[in-house]
Amino acid sequence: MRKQSAIVIGAGIVGLATARALSLKGYSVTVIERDEKAVGASIRNFGMVWPIGQPDGILYNRAMRSKAIWKEVADSTNLWYRESGSLHVAYYEDEMQVLEELFDTFHANGRPVELMRKKDILEEFEGVVETGLLGGLYSATEMVVDPRKAIATIPVYLTEYLDVQFIWGKAVTRVEIGKVWVGNEMQQGDLVMICSGADFETLFPEAFNALAITKCKLQMLRFSAGNDGMHIGTSLCGGLSLIHYQSFKAAASLPQLKTRFENEMPEYVKWGIHVMVSQNDEGELTVGDTHEYGLTHDPFDSAYLNKLVIHYLKQFTHCTNWPLLQSWNGSYPKMTNGDTEVFMEVMPGVYILNGLGGAGMTLSFGLAEEKVNSIL
């Protein structure tokens, strides 16, 4: 009996997760990527696998399943990762109130969280600013990978362990039922999955035009820990992050905190700035980020926005001696109607999986399993 074949378009994290799920279901899988390696949003992020940001239920469970798969892949390839958890710190009473409310809700729902006092934070975690610190909420579920190394390693894992084939540096120009065209060359597949990320204008643009979808540009920076080799020990987040993630809406006093930010920090709210720090195995610290929405973005980074990020970073992290290594921007697709992904069949056997917003590293592996299972 002939083994069924599948073609995945795009080798970002969504495409890689989809290739894995299809292969495990018995498909012969070929991934086609227009660039010679993945260079999009999947490598331009914190590397955070971030269950704490997902509301209880389907999304939180999906995030935890994705984390388990990340660990499986990493353990099989000696890919570095750290189960660093996350620490949201509070320097104002209203921030602390939100964290206390979140602790009550998360703890009641079985999440491994801890409400930490100032003294405990300073004893356990390096780099947190002491002045004005009230406390923090620690969650044990978060994990960090280096996205640049991870997204380069996963294709090796898929090739060696699951016999997935890759075609690099070839752009798909047309898709028909059971056929994918790369210029004049044709590839056949019983199933086609289009995981094109922010490049959603290229294939089936009419389908995307009918969606409530846009793009988000973010700016990020990477620092060296400096001569002192600071090890922060977790992923650190300031108070602004509390108004960014859906799961934090569980706090009853969050609207009041958001109103204060809008009144006192309007530029931060306008540009969607919330400041977080992750650290990789080489001690480098990734910091961000900003959020600008629209279908076409200025390709140039704004020094003004980076200064805002760094100014806020200094309020909760001792970062004065961190030499800047790199700055960059990235772009990812974002649903504007509250949906958490796009999954649709645009013609028989041809599916689009896209629109995860900024949660691709956190949700892709679990989501791909769910959608492949629903197809089969």
The sheet that has 185-188: what strands, in order across it?
174-176, 179-182, 185-188
CB 214 within 8 A of CB 295: yes
Classify residue 221 by its DSSP letter.
E
Exposure string of 292-312, with b = 16+ CB inside 10 Å and e = fewer, is: beeeeeeeebeeebbebbbeb
User: What pLDDT is attached to residue 1?
Assistant: 66
The reported pLDDT for the residue numbered 3 is 87
Residues β-bridged to residue 86: 139, 235
Domains of the chain, by residue range, sit at 5-47+148-211+338-375, 86-140+213-335
Measuring CA to CA, how many Å separate 17 from each of 12, 164, 215? 9, 12, 21
Q: 318 is written with which tokens? A: 């001792």
Collapsing DSSP to helix, strand or coil, 198 comes out as: coil
Distance CA 24, CA 369 (A): 9
**DSSP assignment letter at 102:** H
Between vectors from CA 203 to CA 220 and to CA 347, what angle results, nearest 5°? 130
Sequence-distant (≥ 6) Cβ neighbours of residue 311 within 8 angstroms: none
In 74-200, which ranges are E strands? Answer: 81-82, 86-90, 113-117, 135-139, 143-145, 165-168, 174-176, 179-182, 185-188, 191-194
CATH of 86-140+213-335, one of 3.30.9.10, 3.90.950.10, 3.40.50.970, 3.10.129.10: 3.30.9.10
In this prediction, residue 2 carries a pLDDT of 72
- 85 and 142 Cβ atoms separated by less than 8 Å: yes
Q: Are 197 and 333 in contact (CB under 8 A)?
A: yes
Token pair 């959603």: residue: 200
pLDDT lower than 50: segments of the chain: none
**What percent helix, strand, coil does the chain show, rounded to 5?**
35, 25, 35
What pLDDT score does 178 carry? 96
- Give the pTM: 0.96
The whole-number pLDDT of residue 376 equals 87
Q: Which residue has the tokens 């996963």?
A: 154
CATH topology of domain 5-47+148-211+338-375: FAD/NAD(P)-binding domain (3.50.50)
Nearest one of 39, 35, 18, 38 to 27, comparing CA atoms: 18
Torsions phi, psi for 303 (to 5 deg): -60, -35
Any residues with CB less than 8 A from the CB of 60 and at least 6 apart, and which? 51, 54, 247
The answer to whether 92 touches 173, Cβ cutoff 8 Å, is no
Q: How far is CA 67 from the centre of its chain?
A: 12
Question: What whole-number distance in Å separates Cα of residue 192 and Cα of residue 267?
Answer: 43
242 alpha-carbon distance from chain centroid:
17
What integer pLDDT is reported at residue 308 of this predicted model? 98
As to burial, measured by CB atoms within 10 angstroms (0-12 exposed, 13-18 middle, 19+ buried), residue 105 is: middle
Asked if 333 and 202 touch (Cβ cutoff 8 Å), the reply is no
